[in-house]
Amino acid sequence: MANPSTTNAFGPHLMLDLNGCNPEKLKDFDLIFDILNELPDKIGMTKITQPYVFKYSGLVPEDKGITGFVVIAESHISIHTFQEKDYVFIDLFSCKDFDYEYAKEYLINVFESKNPMVYTTMRGLDFPRHNAPTKDT
Bridging pattern class, strands 115-123 and 52-56:
unpaired
Mean pLDDT for the stretch of residues 21-49:
96
Phi first, then psi: give them for residue 121, nearest 5 degrees. -150, 160
Catalytic residue at 21?
no
Mean pLDDT for the stretch of residues 9-14:
76
Catalytic residue at 75?
yes
The pLDDT score that the predictor gives to residue 67 is: 97
The pLDDT score that the predictor gives to residue 97 is: 79
Q: Is residue 69 within 8 Å of residue 77, measured between CB atoms?
A: yes
Q: Is residue 88 within 8 Å of residue 82, measured between CB atoms?
A: yes
Produce one character per residue of 1-33: b if its CB has 16 or more CB atoms within 10 Å, e if not: eeebeebebbbbbbebebeebebebbbbeebbb
Residues 81-117 have pLDDT tens digits of 999 999 999 999 877 878 889 999 999 999 999 999 9
pTM: 0.84
pLDDT at residue 68 tops 70? yes
Catalytic residue among 13, 21, 80, 113: 80
CATH (one of 3.60.90.10, 2.120.10.30, 1.10.3720.10, 2.40.33.10) for 10-123:
3.60.90.10
Catalytic residue at 80?
yes
The pLDDT score that the predictor gives to residue 5 is: 45
Report the chain's terminal Cα–Cα distance, integer Å: 33
Ordered by start, the domain boundaries in the chain are 10-123
Q: State the Cα–Cα distance between residues 68 and 89, nearest whole angstrom.
A: 11
Catalytic residue among 5, 21, 76, 95: 95
Mean pLDDT for the stretch of residues 48-65:
91
